[in-house]
């Protein structure tokens, strides 16, 4: 078996970085909460949740997603209102 290759569009790198950062911040927040540093843990947890939510919002409003959605419509390209 060959290596597993997962193609990823580089346009989504900022969203992937935000997800990774949010996940790492969440792990740090859990560590801080278990070590009873409640104030710092809650601040880092808020940063973690914000990063993850921002990643989903940016991915949803990304222009590449809209182009792909429009391209997969029922009407094929070139068959618009310009027919005579």
Would residue 39 count as lying in a domain? yes
Would residue 69 count as lying in a domain? no
Token couple for 26: 């969440």
Parent domain of 38: 13-63
Would residue 8 count as lying in a domain? no
Would residue 6 count as lying in a domain? no
The total number of structural domains that make up the chain: 1
pLDDT tens digits along 33-67 = 999 989 999 999 999 999 999 988 888 886 555 45
> Strand, coil or helix: what is 82?
coil
* pTM for this entry: 0.62
Cα separation, 52 vs 23, in Å, equals 8
Sequence-distant (6+) residues with CB within 8 A of 47 are 22, 25, 29
Would residue 30 count as lying in a domain? yes
Tell me the H-state helices in the chain.
13-34, 38-60, 63-71
pLDDT tens digits along 16-34 = 888 999 999 999 999 999 9
């Amino acid at each position: 078996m060959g290596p597993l290759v997962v193609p990823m569009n580089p346009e989504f790198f900022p969203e992937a970085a935000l997800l990774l950062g949010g996940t790492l911040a969440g792990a740090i927040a859990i560590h801080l909460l278990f070590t009873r540093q409640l104030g710092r843990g809650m601040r880092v947890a808020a940063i973690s949740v914000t990063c993850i939510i921002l990643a989903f919002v940016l991915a949803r409003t990304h222009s590449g997603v809209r182009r792909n959605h429009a391209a997969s419509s029922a009407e094929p390209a070139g068959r618009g209102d310009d027919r005579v």
